């Protein structure tokens, strides 16, 4: 058991650094060891992280069965913790590929389980993805209080760890999107709020490098909205470089979509669309196609 726990711990360390091949190898060893000894909690933790690595790489088709297996085993064993992990990661994949409504249903169940354990880290983490799902639906009114409550919980309970890195990142994205749509004095206020949130997101992304491309992307968008066009393009380039170095194909696509939309570069938009088609994120591919239709060839 000590050996398997060590494999799991090393895997988490490697994942946080963006070393996904090494992380995957250690998670697979941990999962096999825990399976041999019948330790479902350890197996569930390791198996969800295997799914996470494929998710990070944009290989959602491979990631999904791992999450579904954890959900199934957790329910069969009546283990609330394992069930919650599986539901959360299944929802995270469906947040990307859809249906988003199914992701929301899974997250609501996971949050109930986490709260009942209680697992405050798990609850904050699941709420951040729930907020992200509402953002994907364009529902800022529902997303914002969920994410602000999650940040408040982290602060009040002094929660730490790579599992909650998503919270400040998705909250920053929410502020950025709200700032762009705001007008007058509210726009000025929201740009300041979003800028502070983006700084916090950059800081937090150092704890888990998977989120680094998103942090750079958000910083670039805030710079663009603030009239700093050159700085914005440098931040977007940094986002793309970081994502390519870690093999995060979907993140490459998201940044190309954002930069291509702002700068009206068809080549970036076309590459983003191709990436989204490859990884199976239909909603993103449709958005890229919609933006392309507004930019003449």
Question: Tens digit of pLDDT for each residue in 131-182?
Answer: 999 999 999 999 999 999 999 999 999 998 888 999 999 999 999 999 999 8
Nearest alpha-carbon partner for 261 in 282, 281, 241, 289: 289
Question: Tens digit of pLDDT for each residue in 62-106?
Answer: 999 999 999 999 999 999 999 999 999 999 999 999 999 999 999
Distance, CA of 44 to CA of 34 (rounded, Å): 9
Delineate the domains of the chain, giving CATH numbers in brackets.
Answer: 1-57 (1.25.40)
Burial class (CB in 10 A: 0-12, 13-18, 19+), 271: middle
The confidence band for 206, taking pLDDT boundaries of 50, 70 and 90, is confident
Model's pTM, two decimal places?
0.95
Residue 114 has pLDDT above 90, yes or no: yes
């Amino acid at each position: 058991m000590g050996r398997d726990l060590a494999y799991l711990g090393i895997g988490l360390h490697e994942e946080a650094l963006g070393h996904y091949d090494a992380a995957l190898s250690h998670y697979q060893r941990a999962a096999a060891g825990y399976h041999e000894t019948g330790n479902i909690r350890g197996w569930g933790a390791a198996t969800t992280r295997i799914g996470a690595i494929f998710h990070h790489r944009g290989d959602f088709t491979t990631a999904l069965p791992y999450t579904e297996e954890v959900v199934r085993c957790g329910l069969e064993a009546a283990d609330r913790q394992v069930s919650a992990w599986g539901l959360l990661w299944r929802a995270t994949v469906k947040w990307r590929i859809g249906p988003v409504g199914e992701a929301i249903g899974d997250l609501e169940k996971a949050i109930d389980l986490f709260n009942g354990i209680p697992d405050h880290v798990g609850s904050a983490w699941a709420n951040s993805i729930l907020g992200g799902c509402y953002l994907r639906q364009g529902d800022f009114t529902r997303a914002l209080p969920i994410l602000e409550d999650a940040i408040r919980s982290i602060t009040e309970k002094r929660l730490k760890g790579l599992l909650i890195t998503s919270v400040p990142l998705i909250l920053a994205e929410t502020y950025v999107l709200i700032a762009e749509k705001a007008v007058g004095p509210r726009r000025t206020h929201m740009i300041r709020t979003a800028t502070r949130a983006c700084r916090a997101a950059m800081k937090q992304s150092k704890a888990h490098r998977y989120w680094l491309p998103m942090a750079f992307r958000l910083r670039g968008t805030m710079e663009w909205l603030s009239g700093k066009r050159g700085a914005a393009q440098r931040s977007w380039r940094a986002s793309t470089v970081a994502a390519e170095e870690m093999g995060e194909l979907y993140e490459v696509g998201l940044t190309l979509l954002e930069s291509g939309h702002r700068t009206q570069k068809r080549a970036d938009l076309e590459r983003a669309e191709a990436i989204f088609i490859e990884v199976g994120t239909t909603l993103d591919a449709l958005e890229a196609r919609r933006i392309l239709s507004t930019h003449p060839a």
